[in-house]
């Protein structure tokens, strides 16, 4: 397991400590389902659903497919929606955030990236290509600019409960440069 995954999982577990038992959890943009699988091992939720637009050849959990636009779930049908490094791969991040908010009854946990300058966006684009090209995952370069997603989440009736920035996902020289783009947050429906 990579240091990046270890650190991200540790952060997710810490953010979820105060949430109590979760009935149904959706892992949005689950990829190979590794995070869901790890959380299932420690009984974070009774039911885990891994959701993505494509199935990987090898996966830790069975993946439910969707069309990339509308989540195939009723309003407020999930207790927790988890999105790790996935929203920036969608063509319209704010639109998909509204879909995630529609489907969660309690919590939304996002771990993603942010930038402020053109150099920051270029850096994220390069890192994304290096990290995802080998898996055949296209990069849409739709990273959050200067916390622009946060007001949309608040306006939908969610309160920021926990926020970690910068998130130390990488170490050494790579970490010195890339951790400034990493963040994680937990919102609760009010």
Q: Residue 118: what pLDDT?
A: 97
Q: Residue 135: what pLDDT?
A: 79
Q: What CATH number does the domain located at 3-189 have?
A: 3.40.50.150
pLDDT surpasses 80 at 1: no
Range from 9-13, 61-65, 98-102, 135-139 carrying the lowest mean pLDDT: 135-139
Dist. CA 136–CA 170, nearest whole Å: 22
Range from 48-57, 58-67, 136-145, 174-183 carrying the lowest mean pLDDT: 136-145
Q: Residue 96: what pLDDT?
A: 98
| More confidently predicted of 11 and 58 | 11
Residue position matching structure tokens 């969660």: 104
pLDDT surpasses 80 at 178: yes
Please state whether the predicted TM-score (pTM) of the whole model is above 0.85.
yes
Q: Residue 94: what pLDDT?
A: 97
Q: How many CB atoms lie within 10 A of CB 141?
A: 13
Interval 31-66: pLDDT, tens = 999 999 999 999 999 999 999 999 998 999 999 999
Q: What would the mean pLDDT of 85-90 be, rounded to a whole number?
A: 96
Do residues 32 and 38 lie in contact, with contact meaning Cβ atoms separated by under 8 Å? no
pLDDT surpasses 80 at 189: yes
pLDDT surpasses 80 at 156: yes
pLDDT surpasses 90 at 139: no
- HEC readout, the chain: CCHHHHHHHHHHHHHHHHHCCEEEEEEECCCCCHHHHHHHHCCCEEEEEEEECCCCCCCCCCEEECCCCCCCCCCCCEEEEEEECCHHHCCCHHHHHHHHHHHEEEEEEEEEEEECCHHHHHHHHHHHHHHHHHHCCCCCCCCEECCCHHHHHHHCCEEEEEEECCCCCCCHHHHHHHHHHEEEEEEEEC
pLDDT surpasses 80 at 4: yes
Dist. CA 32–CA 175, nearest whole Å: 24
Q: What would the mean pLDDT of 99-106 be, rounded to a whole number?
A: 98
Q: Residue 133: what pLDDT?
A: 81
pLDDT surpasses 90 at 134: no
């Amino acid at each position: 397991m990579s240091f990046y995954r270890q650190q991200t999982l540790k952060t997710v577990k810490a953010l979820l400590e105060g949430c109590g038992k979760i009935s149904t959890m959706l892992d949005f943009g689950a990829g190979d389902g590794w995070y869901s699988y790890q959380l299932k091992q420690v009984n974070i939720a009774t039911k885990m659903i891994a959701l993505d637009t494509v199935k990987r050849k090898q996966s830790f959990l069975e993946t439910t497919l969707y069309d990339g636009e509308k989540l195939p779930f009723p309003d407020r049908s999930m207790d927790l929606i988890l999105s790790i490094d996935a929203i920036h791969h969608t063509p319209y991040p704010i639109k998909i955030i509204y879909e995630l908010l529609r489907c969660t009854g309690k919590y939304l946990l996002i771990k993603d990236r942010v930038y402020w300058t053109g150099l920051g966006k270029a850096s994220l684009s390069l890192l994304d290509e290096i990290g995802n090209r080998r898996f055949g995952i296209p990069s849409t370069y739709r990273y959050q600019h200067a916390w622009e997603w946060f007001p949309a989440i608040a306006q939908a009736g969610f309160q920021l409960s926990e926020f970690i920035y910068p998130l130390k996902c990488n170490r050494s020289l790579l970490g010195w440069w890339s951790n400034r783009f990493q963040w994680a947050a937990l919102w609760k429906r009010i």
